[in-house]
Amino acid sequence: MAFDYLIVGAGFAGAVLAERLATQLGKRVLIVDKRTHIGGNAFDTYDESGILIHPYGPHIFHTNSLEVIDYLSQFTQWRPYQHRVLGSVEGQLVPIPFNMDSLKTLFPSEYAARLERKLVERYGYGVKQPILEMMNESDADLKYLAEYIYKNVFLGYTLKQWERKPDELDASVTSRVPVNISKDDRYFGDKYQMMPLHGYTKMFERMLFHPNIKVMLNTDYREIAEIVPFDKMIYSGPVDAFFDYRYGKLPYRSLHFEHRTLDTAQYQPTGTVNYPNEYAYTRISEFKYITGQTHDKTSIVTEYPRSDGDPYYPIPMPEFNALYKRYEADALLEDKVLFVGRLATYKYYNMDQIVAQALSVFNKQILPNEPRAD
């Protein structure tokens, strides 16, 4: 059987484009993934105790894009969920990002009140202030606070997660954990925060349920690219691997996940607890908070950052971006291949950003140039 498109990767980028090509243009699509499941890193499944877990760590959906919500709502209902994170700081659990309640937990009441007043006067209530910028303050109290947060909340976590200091990384990373000058204890500030009601995998199954879409799992696309006829390719894997590492490997950060199911209804007081300073791991997440499932047991995952393993996070540093640009230049010369997604474009995207990117590629690069199939 001949296909109009071979799509490499069954995560968000590949699934969105497969669905659009099949339903809007009637194209015949083969989507291939080397893993044994669809959904990419957002894949979820039930463990042996019947608890819905995320094997690749917690995936919390949040976005400001109504277009993304409207699109995905064709394939899932939603459960409202606002993720909250606590951090272990000097033996106490405080809200992360650091906020006004964090001040009151860690500092004497009078000093906390003074810091709160100065923060509001300097930045305004409700502002999310980047920590690295705050460290340049001339006010002694604000400078002390910034240095305290940097040392106790930000530095250790960043060193474990990235093996680099915060000031070595692009602002797209460092701005993700600001100081919330309010009592807002939500980890994300997006307008829309929710989880697929029946999980991500069910959503992906509905996206890919179409007679024009064929799915081949546990397969490296190179094994079939020479024997299965297709006209064009959409590639969402690592861009350096596509070009056989001709300029060298792009660096990524990976994770090791340690999953445990416990004979208790609750393990910790919120969905995720960060450990910026102690232990080799960065955080522990408890899935029942995230999924809303009721169960007499609970399942948790502990995350250990590492350099080897599956590529999860492109490292946003100037020298690595420069290396990517060499691959990008070659990618632009591939007239029958589109490169989409986090790994293919070496960008630290959230899930909603990948969906938005895939929709944009379809609307701006594919739709104007593709006649509808009969």
What's 225's domain CATH number?
Answer: 3.40.50.720
Full domain range(s) for residue 21: 3-81+193-246+314-369
- Is 16 among the domain residues? yes
List of residues 6+ apart from 143 with CB closer than 8 A: 134, 135, 137
Give the sign of the dihedral formed by CA 217, CA 232, CA 347, CA 317: positive
- Is 270 among the domain residues? no
Clarify whether residues 239 and 324 are in a common domain: yes
List of residues 6+ apart from 312 with CB closer than 8 A: 41, 56, 252, 253, 254, 255
Tens-digit pLDDT string for the chain (374 aa): 799 999 999 999 999 999 999 999 999 999 999 999 999 999 999 999 999 999 999 999 999 999 999 999 999 999 999 999 999 999 999 999 999 999 999 999 999 999 999 999 999 999 999 888 898 999 999 999 999 999 999 899 999 999 998 888 887 776 667 889 999 999 999 999 999 999 999 999 999 999 999 999 999 999 999 899 999 999 999 999 999 999 999 999 999 999 999 999 999 999 999 999 999 999 999 999 999 999 999 999 999 999 999 999 999 889 999 999 999 999 999 999 999 999 999 998 999 999 999 999 999 999 988 777 66
pTM of the model: 0.94
Clarify whether residues 106 and 167 are in a common domain: yes
Clarify whether residues 150 and 46 are in a common domain: no
Per DSSP, the three-state class of 245 is: coil
- Is 374 among the domain residues? no
- Is 89 among the domain residues? no
- Rounded to 10 deg, the angle between the 200-207 and 12-25 helix axes is 30
Clarify whether residues 144 and 218 are in a common domain: no
Structural domain tally of the chain?
Answer: 2
Residue 301 Cα distances to 50, 120, 323, angstroms: 15, 37, 34
Clarify whether residues 77 and 7 are in a common domain: yes
Q: What is the largest CA-CA distance in the chain?
A: 74
Clarify whether residues 18 and 71 are in a common domain: yes
Clarify whether residues 129 and 236 are in a common domain: no
Nearest-angstrom CA–CA distance, 57 and 273: 13
- Is 225 among the domain residues? yes
- Is 299 among the domain residues? no
Clarify whether residues 47 and 169 are in a common domain: no
Nearest-angstrom CA–CA distance, 10 and 236: 9
Q: Are 301 and 284 in contact (CB under 8 A)?
A: yes
Neighbours of 48 (CB within 10 A): 7
